[in-house]
Amino acid sequence: EADIYQTPRYLVIGTGKKITLECSQTMGHDKMYWYQQDPGMELHLIHYSYGVNSTEKGDLSSESTVSRIRTEHFPLTLESARPSHTSQYLCASSEYKGRSGELFFGEGSRLTVL
Amino acid sequence: AQRVTQPEKLLSVFKGAPVELKCNYSYSGSPELFWYVQYSRQRLQLLLRHISRESIKGFTADLNKGETSFHLKKPFAQEEDSAMYYCAPFGTGGFKTIFGAGTRLFVKA
């Protein structure tokens, strides 16, 4: 079944650790996005990609990095996690063709840095 | 600057009452407007888009370009409508969607 998957769903780690949040989609979409969301707050776009080897920074500055080596995979990496990185991270994808702007979201990865 | 304002963080109504969730936006160009919804323990999903001019689960939304508003309305709220609602313009130039802070709708029995 076509879907978008995020792992891990929950992660608690110590300061200074390197972490990678995985996002994969089987929907055949070209565009993929990472949003950061604090509880009760709006979603902020931190990274997006139009396709393979394309990555752009979003509207909210983030110390994380992303890569897009395969169409279906868009991982997010934090080289050295800090408590300020504690948040929920949502991955989304959408079609590139035409003007379709509908986003399909994963279930999210909730990160806690101690 | 691109901005979306949802003035109510929490909206509480009784079952059967009309509900209106407000959204005002400031966005260059002519964005497409969307409403997304997140029910308890479910992922964020599309509720409706303005170009479809359709009613989903009894909700409608009218785009007012003069007032740059895209308010979401339902004449008779149901308990299952309790959820978090986000207004989200999509820029066809940069293919990016920005989100408002969201409004939590609570429908009381």
Residue A8: asked if its preceding bond is cis (omega within 30°), the reply is yes
Residue bearing tokens 């983030």: A62
3-class DSSP state for residue B101?
A: coil
Residues of B in contact with A35 (CB under 8 A): 99
Residue A99 has pLDDT above 60, yes or no: no
Q: What is the pLDDT of residues A10-64, one digit of tens each?
A: 999 999 999 999 999 999 899 999 999 987 778 899 999 989 999 999 888 889 9
- For chain B, count helices (H), then strands (E): 0, 11
For a pLDDT cut of 90, what percent of chain B falls above it?
62
Residue A70 has pLDDT above 60, yes or no: yes
Q: What is the pLDDT of residues B68-82, one digit of tens each?
A: 899 999 999 999 999
Rg over CA atoms, chain B: 13
**pLDDT for position A42:** 83
Collect the ranges in chain B with pLDDT lower than 70.
1, 92-94
A48: nearest CA partner in chain B: B96
Cβ–Cβ contact A1 with B under 8 A: no
Residue A77 has pLDDT above 60, yes or no: yes
B32: nearest CA partner in chain A: A101
Sign of CA dihedral A113, A106, B42, B60: positive
Compute the mean pLDDT over every residue in chain A, rounded to the nearest whole number. 92
Q: Which residues neighbour A87 within 8 Å (Cβ) at sequence distance 6 or greater?
A: A36, A37, A38, A110, A111
Amino acid at residue number B6: Q
- The distance from CA B23 to its chain's CA centroid, rounded to whole angstroms, is 7
The shortest C-alpha distance from B102 to chain A (Å) reads 6
**pLDDT for position B75:** 97
- The distance from CA B4 to its chain's CA centroid, rounded to whole angstroms, is 11
User: Cα–Cα distance between A81 and A3 in angstroms, integer?
Assistant: 28
Q: Which residues neighbour A24 within 8 Å (Cβ) at sequence distance 6 or greater?
A: A4, A5, A72, A73, A74
